[in-house]
Amino acid sequence: MADVKPIHRAQSAETIAFGRDFASTEAFKSLFREGMTLVEDAAAYLDGPGRDEARRLPRLSALAYANESMKLTTRMMQLASWLLVRRAVAEGEMTEESATAQISRLRINKNEIPVTAAQIKGLPKRLIELIQHSIRLQDRVAHADTIMKTAAESEPVIAGRNAVALQHLLLRSAFTRGEARP
């Protein structure tokens, strides 16, 4: 077999680990900014216009609003925690072991009862938009988390011999993400 050499980062003898290094990429930084902006937007809405809109809702819609706003708040806290922990690791403020312990306590994957059309019917448009955006963000974070966990558990990729295995791993993780949905 030909001489097989590890894939290296520029100016580093360390083997590339896509999942582990994801938090250092522009894609993660963009995900982080989007997540933190959504947290701020949701908080501003729920504490301001959302509170006023909830007061004007009929009783059943007001109960649905309270339930969905609580789920939204919880989802946003979980996502913000994941993003902050991953950023702390990328910036060297936290070890991977400590991050793994912190993240194991979070509920990134969906495990809540989905919202039905009947429940959404009476809710304010802005709340529905925030819920939908937070669920899309949750899907993306769960996917990134799966890739990062899988990469942490796998062997380093060797150019030539295991490059195809990496592609299989990435494809498998992309398609298994959809299977986890309720």
Q: Is residue 156 part of a domain?
A: yes
The closest alpha carbon to 36, from 25, 28, 24, belongs to: 28
CATH code where residue 59 lies: 1.10.8.930
Burial class (CB in 10 A: 0-12, 13-18, 19+), 31: buried
Query: CA 92, 94, 96, 99: dihedral to nearest 10 degrees?
Result: -140
This prediction has a pTM of: 0.70
Q: Is residue 1 part of a domain?
A: no
Q: Is residue 2 part of a domain?
A: no
d(CA 111, CA 41): 23
Predicted local confidence at residue 111, as pLDDT: 63
d(CA 75, CA 138): 8
Three-class DSSP category at 79: helix
Q: Is residue 162 part of a domain?
A: yes
Q: Is residue 13 part of a domain?
A: no
Predicted local confidence at residue 97, as pLDDT: 85
Q: Is residue 70 part of a domain?
A: yes
Domain residues for 69? 18-179
The domain tally of the chain equals 1
Strand partners, 6: 158
Strand partners, 8: 15
Give the pLDDT confidence of 57-94 residue by residue, as tens digits.
Answer: 999 899 999 999 999 999 999 999 999 999 998 888 98
Side-chain-side CA neighbours of 60 within 13 Å: the count stands at 5
Predicted local confidence at residue 175, as pLDDT: 67
Low-confidence ranges of the chain (pLDDT < 70): 1-20, 109-115, 151-182
Three-class DSSP category at 15: strand
